[in-house]
Amino acid sequence: MTKLTMTVNGRKMSGDAEGRTLLSDFLRQELELTGTHVGCDTSQCGACTVHVDGLAVKSCAVLAMECEGAEVTTIEGMANKDGSLSVLQQAFQDHHGLQCGFCTPGMVMSASALLKDNPRPSEAEIRHHLEGNICRCTGYHNIVKAVLAASGQPVPEGVTATE
């Protein structure tokens, strides 16, 4: 075991890891940040997406040791300082961008990375960016609406599972 230290959601945090420990397991089991979900453990579903040094990564595809000293942001770090939901999180709620919620942490982390690089993405750009994030419930339409709304763009009408 090796002691690792990284800055997670703005706080220096330490925990033990083996060479093979995945960042997703380190976050959930050592740091008890269970908002990062593990859906597949094989880099396919995107539920485990976090930011490492500002880039969205699937944390089941990264070794914890590779993140020694890194700046990591998880879903627990996405709310506003007063604990209220961020604009993006609120948009997911307002536009019914979640049902069971299992994919939601990864969706929010991926979408926030998109909005950082591209503050007014088109619907096609949103769909393309989120193609690595699988949702079994929503049919994606309301997730796309939430990201459009969070970027201050008009939200199209349309038939969705919740309308």
Q: Give the residues lining the site for ligand FES (CB under 6 A).
A: 38-41, 43-48, 58, 60, 98-103, 135-138
Query: In terms of Cα–Cα distance, which of 55, 51, 45 is closest to 23?
Result: 51
- Give the residue with the Cβ less far from ligand FES, 4 or 130: 130
d(CA 122, CA 134) in angstroms, rounded, equals 20
In whole angstroms, the minimum distance from the beta carbon of 1 to ligand FES comes to: 23
Residue type at position 161: A
In whole angstroms, the minimum distance from the beta carbon of 157 to ligand FES comes to: 22
- Give the residue with the Cβ less far from ligand FES, 128 or 136: 136
In whole angstroms, the minimum distance from the beta carbon of 10 to ligand FES comes to: 23
- Give the residue with the Cβ less far from ligand FES, 49 or 151: 49
In whole angstroms, the minimum distance from the beta carbon of 41 to ligand FES comes to: 5
Query: In terms of Cα–Cα distance, which of 76, 78, 69, 67 is closest to 28?
Result: 76
CA-based torsion, 86, 78, 99, 57: positive or negative: positive
In whole angstroms, the minimum distance from the beta carbon of 108 to ligand FES comes to: 11
- Give the residue with the Cβ less far from ligand FES, 98 or 149: 98
Q: What separation in angstroms does the CA of 47 have from each of 12, 39, 106?
A: 24, 6, 4
Cβ(95)–Cβ(150) below 8 Å = no
- Give the residue with the Cβ less far from ligand FES, 55 or 119: 55
- 4-16 CB burial, b ≥16 within 10 A, e <16: bebebbeeebebe
